[in-house]
Structure 1
Amino acid sequence: MSVPDIRRLQLARLGVGLIFLSNGAAYASLVPRLPEVKAELGMTNAVFGLAIAAFPAGALAAGAAAGVLIRQFGSRLLAWVGMVVSMAAILAAAAANSLPLFIAAIFLAGCADSITDVAQNHHALRVQKLMGRSIINSYHAMWSVGALIGGALAAGAISVGLHRVAHLAIVAVLILAVTTVGHRLMLPGPEPTEATPHEAHTHGNGRVRHPYLVLAMLSILAIAGAIEEDNAGSWATLYMSTELGVTGGLAATGYVAAMGSHFLGRITGDWLVNRLGQRTMARLGGVLLVLGTAIMIVFPSPWTTILGYACAGYGVATVVPSIFEAADSMPGFKPGTALTVVSLTLRIGFLASPPLVGLIADASAIRWGLLVLPISGLVIVALSGVLSSRHETWDVPVLDK
């Protein structure tokens, strides 16, 4: 198979970036409107948490099929189709007039998001391999930009009194236009199928770990990172509006702060990880997550909440991309196997977090449900040793199978 020239690769990089941008903006456009849906459908905090959990449930249900679909139809087409279905489902969720319809729409959105997520990351790694340098954090930065734009536009729509269905219909048209451009710029042709063997490495006096143990640790790290991302989307706006008394579009500022700091962390992520290593960045990020969210829980106010979510967003910005890279290059597994497992277990964090926080919130307050954030930060600090101390090579000792 011929290697595309540098201009074609640059266009493909832009195309994948537009898919990441659109994927980030899609669900983020609905998030600030969720308190309206919750109120209109008369949901309790626990029911709301369970309803929102339909999104990661759908992602888990569809994620296992993503690899087969990619091999059958290609990541380029699959990413575009996934975005079309995502926006249709999100628009249906905004218009839902009953709880079952809302849950069904959210479930379908989760299914489509999972397919898009695997397809866009698969294509991103394909472009990265051809370019010969790390660009994965910049792709995730584009996702954060999309989430920031989606959340900010939603806050603006709320401020001017635009109905959520009209707001999301406009967003759907814009996102599908951007996604279509991205699809046309991505690499054509079938997916590469050649396997690259992974060799086990041992360095220094480090303790040798079994590949399955390393994969389990990476999966738990992914769950901890997912908890932060889900919490900002599911609970930040509701917490600020119901327990801190923030009104109108300003109630979305906690979520916007999380997504904005996510972007800053990821746009600088490749530079920092290349210099400090995945392990150090994860430890520093986990500490920042613990400190920032602990302050917002102990001293509840709009400003400490914005600060806490900003610290959380920046703290975990490079964690999930580092986990994906580590899994993809991990010795002891066939290419793509560890990445698929980590991608699926990542969704467990999204699935478990909303109902857990909702149950705690109904028993006490949303504020105490937010304790999952500093706890996830402690998990990241504790397990960061499984990541590489350098960017270029896998240096966690792994036992030969």
Structure 2
Amino acid sequence: MTSLERILTTPRYLAPAWIFTSLNIVVATWVLYVPAVKERLELDDGQLGLALFAFSAGLLTAIAPSSSLFEKFGLGRLSFIATCCFGLLMCIPVMATTYPMLVVGIFCTGLAASIMDIGMNALISELEYEDGVNIMSAAHGFFSLGGVIGAGLGSLLLGVFVEPVYHMLSVAAFLIVTNGFAVRHYLHRRSRKADRGGEGKFKFALIKPLLGFTVLAVLIMGSEGAIEHWSKLYLLDVVKISSDRVAGFGFVAFSATMTIGRFMGDNVSSRFGPYNIIIGGTLIAAAGFGLVLSTLFWPAMIGFALVGLGFSVIIPELFRLAGRAEGVSSAEGISVVAGMGYVGFLASPAILGLLSDWSSLRLSFAALLGAALVSALIAYVLKLRRT
């Protein structure tokens, strides 16, 4: 049985996997309105990038207290609460009438997204540990599926809603209802206690072996965040696509191939090993960025698809390794790797905005090509150390 079949046929696996989908449905819907928010508030690329950086600030703020919060409220209960809050809070940025309101709204969504992300990955890690299965990559496939749903269906609905906030409220209501039905399968689940071998309370020094994985998470998730927030503007401004709806399908192509790759990733990982697929994935993504930089429509679309395929299995492998690290609980290990990865996820759009202001958006995407090559080198070094 493949990991995808296992999730689809087992409600206790499908329920937390739906949180992955929920997160990216909301983010992908918000991304559709980023150009409109930029135009309404009359922001340049640098101002927009700094506003998006507030998401990273929210993520960072939530990392430190996350372990205590999960211990107090329970892994399942807090994951569900964060999911509901995230959908509702994302309404603030789309209806922001001032720049400070935009920044505060994005910061608050970052807080909720951080708890949500740590929780959903820890839930899957607990199930993998308890049942002796590999479903992490397929669960992340559901995250990518959320991007396809949010960006694809959302692009078609852009003209349906009178105001963007009505679109976002509809999405939030849908997710609250669907997760409300699923929550009974994980509501009372708690994170297993870490065996520290007499080390006492959790200290960041306990996760030094995860440093390489953390750097990779920052680079890869940073590139994912850059594509999610800037791919549409890149196609409009650099490739010169005239249709607002067609420009949104660059991210759809990226999300579609990432979904397919992640649904196959657990089997690929068991065959080739985590380091080989990380190295191979980053090189495929680098080739994709090369096509994107051609500034031609079809090569760019194929390039976005290749980047999605290359990146598809990398983050699930890093989270799986973090969730199984010795001396830390699944929530603790994932909170650091996922948390710092999400800092990259939203810091990179800010950096790309600044690079675009300084030079061009094309240079920003050239930097992403460089990040993919650096990631391949880091993964190769980690493989040598492991062997």
Matched residue, 2:262 = 266
The one of 269, 272, 279 aligned to 2:275: 279
1:319 and 1:240 map into 2 onto residues whose CA distance is 26
The question of 1:47 aligning with 2:37 is answered no
2:311 and 2:206 map into 1 onto residues whose CA distance is 24
Matched residue, 1:170 = 170
The question of 1:257 aligning with 2:253 is answered yes
Describe the SS at the equivalent of 2:353. helix
Change (3 A) 1:129 1:367: same
Matched residue, 1:384 = 379
2:328 and 2:172 map into 1 onto residues whose CA distance is 38
Distance apart, 1:242 and its partner CA: 2.7
Matched residue count? 373
Q: Residue type matched to 2:103 in 1?
A: I
Describe the SS at the equivalent of 2:10. helix
Write out aligned runs for 1:1-400 (5 A). Answer: 10-158=10-158, 160=160, 162-186=162-186, 188-193=188-193, 195=195, 214-246=209-241, 247-297=243-293, 299-331=294-326, 333-336=327-330, 337-385=332-380, 396=386
Change (3 A) 1:386 1:273: farther
1:387 and 1:10 map into 2 onto residues whose CA distance is 35
1:157 and 1:245 map into 2 onto residues whose CA distance is 23
Change (3 A) 1:280 1:369: same
Tell me the TM-score normalised to structure 1 length.
0.87
- Shifted more, 380-389 versus 223-232: the winner is 380-389
Q: Residue type matched to 1:306 in 2?
A: M
Describe the SS at the equivalent of 2:97. coil
Describe the SS at the equivalent of 2:42. coil
- Shifted more, 66-75 versus 187-196: the winner is 187-196
| Alpha-carbon displacement from aligned partner over 1:208-256 (angstroms, at most 9, x marks no partner) | xx98664221111111111221011110011112333322211111111
1:189 and 1:34 map into 2 onto residues whose CA distance is 36
Describe the SS at the equivalent of 1:43. coil
Describe the SS at the equivalent of 1:385. helix
Change (3 A) 1:189 1:334: closer
Quick check: 2:192–2:329 contact (8 Å CA) kept in 1? no
Q: Residue type matched to 1:316 in 2?
A: F
Quick check: 1:326–1:388 contact (8 Å CA) kept in 2? no
Quick check: 1:56–1:347 contact (8 Å CA) kept in 2? yes
- Shifted more, 248-257 versus 187-196: the winner is 187-196
Report the aligned-residue RMSD: 2.4
Q: Residue type matched to 2:58 in 1?
A: G
| Alpha-carbon displacement from aligned partner over 1:252-286 (angstroms, at most 9, x marks no partner) | 11111111111011001001111111111111111
Quick check: 1:30–1:94 contact (8 Å CA) kept in 2? yes
| Alpha-carbon displacement from aligned partner over 1:306-358 (angstroms, at most 9, x marks no partner) | 22221111111111111112223345x44445433222321331243122111
Unaligned runs of 5+ in 1: 1-5, 198-209, 390-394
